[in-house]
Amino acid sequence: MESRFLEQTINELQSRISMTGSALNELRVSSMTLEGLETEKKGADLFVPVGGGSYVKAKLETPRNVVVGIGADVAVERTFKEAKEELVTRIAELEKTREALGQQFNQVVGRMQENRAKIEELSAKMREGEQTSVRQAQKGA
């Protein structure tokens, strides 16, 4: 029973670690993009990714401001400096979260290994006991 629970917990933690990693990658790409855009001037030609390896050609209109998502489909306008600082903070928070998830994962895996070792030990004792019973029965016959 506990083994099933531990397996489910491991799967959930793996999923959360993966999602956290994806979010971290996205934030890092955003940070690098901001670094690249910071030196561009108004009217600069850009290729804006629209997904699937496809891009739209666009012109930069407001080179000193960025619209930043703050959650729940809400976005606000920030300066490049503010946006970069916010990204650094969010990246640091996600790295802490990923580290904590990794520690939880390792603890659960450790518990699972302990349980397997106990099961193997009990199984070996049971086999040993069965062999002893068979030998005693054979001697008595």
Element (H, E) at 25: helix 2-37
Residue 131 domain boundaries: 2-38+79-140
Token pair belonging to 13? 């933690």
Helical spans, DSSP H, in 38-79? none
Q: Is residue 33 part of a domain?
A: yes
What is the value of pTM for the model shown? 0.74
> CB under 8 Å to 70, separation ≥6 — which residues?
76
Please check whether residue 60 lies inside any domain of the structure.
no
**Distance between CA 1 and CA 81 in Å, rounded?**
52
At residue 134, the pLDDT reads 57
* pLDDT digit string (tens) for the chain, length 141 residues: 688 889 999 999 999 999 999 999 999 988 998 888 888 888 999 988 888 989 999 998 887 888 988 889 899 999 989 999 999 999 999 999 999 999 999 999 999 999 888 888 888 888 787 666 656 666 655
What is the rounded distance in angstroms from the CA atom of residue 88 to the CA atom of residue 30?
A: 10
62: Cβ–Cβ under 8 A, 6 or more apart, which residues? 42
Is position 16 within any domain?
yes
Integer angstrom CA distances of residue 84 from 33, 35, 71, 78, 125: 10, 8, 16, 9, 61
Examine residue 59 and state whether it is found in any structural domain, yes or no: no
Domains in the chain: how many in total?
1
Question: Measured between alpha carbons, how far is 3 from 19 in angstroms, rounded to an integer?
Answer: 24
Task: Convert the pLDDT of each residue in 109-126 to its tens digit.
Answer: 999 999 888 888 888 888
Please state, in angstroms and rounded to a whole number, the distance separating the CA atoms of residues 11 and 116. Answer: 17
